[in-house]
Amino acid sequence: MADVTPKQFETWLTPSEAVARLDTRLGSNSYKSKHLLLEHCRKGLLKAVAKNYIVDSRAPITLSEVISQHWLIMREKHIFWDTGSFSYSEWGTSYGLFVVRFDPAKVEEMVGEIRLPTVSESPDPEPPAKGPRVTDRDLEAWFALYRTIYTGANDTVANAENSAKGMFPGKTVNKDRVRALRLKEMGSRPRGRKPIADK
C-alpha cells in the first residue's frame, strides 16, 4: 500500500488533469505532456497511485503505488489518459490498475522546470528570398492575357497583383510595375468610356 491516505488521494491529479497542467507550458501539445509524464514515471521521478490494483484473480490492493514496470507498456495514444485505468497481461500474469492518480506537487514541480524560449532566445526569422526580376516583355505578355480574363468590376489592383504573382512563381514582381501597366492601359482608352473600378 502506498503512503497516501484516501483523503490525500482524492486531491491527486487524474491523468487528464496532469496532462492539462503540463499543456499550459507546452503549448497545448498533449503528446509532449504525456511523453514527459511517462518518462518521469518510468524513471521513478513521479509517483502515481492506483485506487485498486489487481493481479490475476487476487483480491484488489487498495491505494497501491504504480511501479515503473507498469509504465513500460503505456503509450502516449493509449485510452488510459482519458479513462484513468488500464490493464494488460505479461508472461502469463494479468495486471489491472484502476483509477490512477498523479502526485500534484511533483507535477507542479515539472511544470516549473519547463523553460520556454524567450523572444531573445528565438532565432530571427529569415527574410523571404527574392527571385529574379520578371522581364518587361514577360510582364507585358502577362498583362495582355490578364486583360482578357479580368474585365469590368473584376479588374482591380488586388486582382492584378495577385494574378501577376501567380503567373511568375519564384520571381519578383514589383507592385509598381503592375500598377504602371494598368494606368498606361487606362490612359490609352477613348474618352467617354467608364473608368475601371478599383477595390
Residue 165 has a pLDDT of: 80
Q: Average pLDDT of 128-137?
A: 77
Residues 97 and 175 in one domain: no
User: Is the pLDDT reported for residue 192 higher than 60?
Assistant: no
Confirm whether 11 is domain-assigned.
yes
Residues 48 and 96 in one domain: yes
User: Is the pLDDT reported for residue 141 higher than 70?
Assistant: yes
The structure's pTM equals: 0.55
Confirm whether 18 is domain-assigned.
yes
**CA dist list (Å): 144 to 69, 168, 185:** 72, 15, 10
Confirm whether 122 is domain-assigned.
no
C-alpha grid cell, residue 55: 493481479
CB 82 within 8 A of CB 34: no
Residue 199 has a pLDDT of: 47
Which residue, of 81, 113, 145, is where some domain finishes? 113
Confirm whether 197 is domain-assigned.
no
State the CB neighbour count (10 A cutoff) for residue 100. Answer: 25
The number of distinct structural domains making up the chain is: 2
Domain that holds residue 147: 136-187
- At how many degrees (to 10) do helices 15-26 and 104-113 cross? 20
User: Is the pLDDT reported for residue 153 higher than 80?
Assistant: no
Residues 140 and 109 in one domain: no
Mean model confidence pLDDT for the chain: 82
Residues 14 and 101 in one domain: yes
Bridge partners, residue 96, by sequence: 54, 87
CB 97 within 8 A of CB 85: yes
Residues 99 and 24 in one domain: yes
Residues 89 and 153 in one domain: no
User: Is the pLDDT reported for residue 124 higher than 70?
Assistant: no
Residue 99 has a pLDDT of: 93
Confidence of residue 82 (pLDDT cuts 50, 70, 90): very high
Which residue, 129, 126, 64, is CA-closest to 99?
Answer: 64
Spatial neighbors of 131 by CB under 8 A, at least 6 apart, are 168, 170, 171, 172
Q: Average pLDDT of 140-154?
A: 80
Residue 179 has a pLDDT of: 84
Residues 31 and 82 in one domain: yes
pLDDT in tens, 87-111: 999 888 999 999 999 999 999 998 8
